[in-house]
């Protein structure tokens, strides 16, 4: 492998990161311009592109972990099942797997549809981005 190819592989993530930062900055400047123009024309409505909407949404969510918290809590049974199965396979200890299954059984007794919740959380976490790119 040539030195140029290695440098290209190493520089690519950095240039992508800088490019995305510049793009976000341009979108943010565009939002400010739209807000100023709307204020000058006494308009109460601003039409946003998908990129502008994502920028506004990410600015409002800065410093919050609510989405990540919900995703971790709702998908925790999957981690428990996989971790329990691996632990059982290597150590013969079924306590983690049994505990996870008991927890899911208790949630079912409360009429909580974990299957639906897991689908909704995962699709909301990744589905919207995939839908917009498609």
Give the Cα separation of 76 and 103 in Å (integer). 11
pLDDT at 34 over 70: no
The tens digit of pLDDT for each residue in 4-23 reads 766 666 667 667 666 766 76
What average pLDDT does range 21-38 have in this prediction?
A: 65
Query: CA dist 15 to 10, 49, 50, 59, 95, Å?
Result: 9, 24, 23, 23, 47
């Amino acid at each position: 492998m040539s030195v140029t190819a290695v440098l290209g592989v190493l520089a690519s993530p950095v240039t992508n990161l800088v490019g995305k930062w510049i793009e976000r900055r341009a979108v943010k400047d565009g939002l400010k311009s739209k807000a100023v123009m709307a204020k000058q024309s006494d308009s109460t409505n601003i039409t946003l592109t998908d990129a502008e909407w994502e920028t506004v949404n990410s600015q409002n969510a800065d410093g919050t972990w609510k989405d990540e918290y919900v995703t971790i809590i709702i998908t925790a049974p999957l981690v428990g099942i996989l971790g329990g199965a691996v632990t059982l396979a290597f150590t013969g200890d079924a306590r983690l797997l049994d505990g996870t299954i008991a927890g899911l059984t208790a949630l079912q007794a409360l009429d909580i549809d974990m299957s639906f919740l897991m689908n909704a959380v995962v699709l909301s976490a990744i589905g919207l981005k995939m839908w917009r790119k498609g």
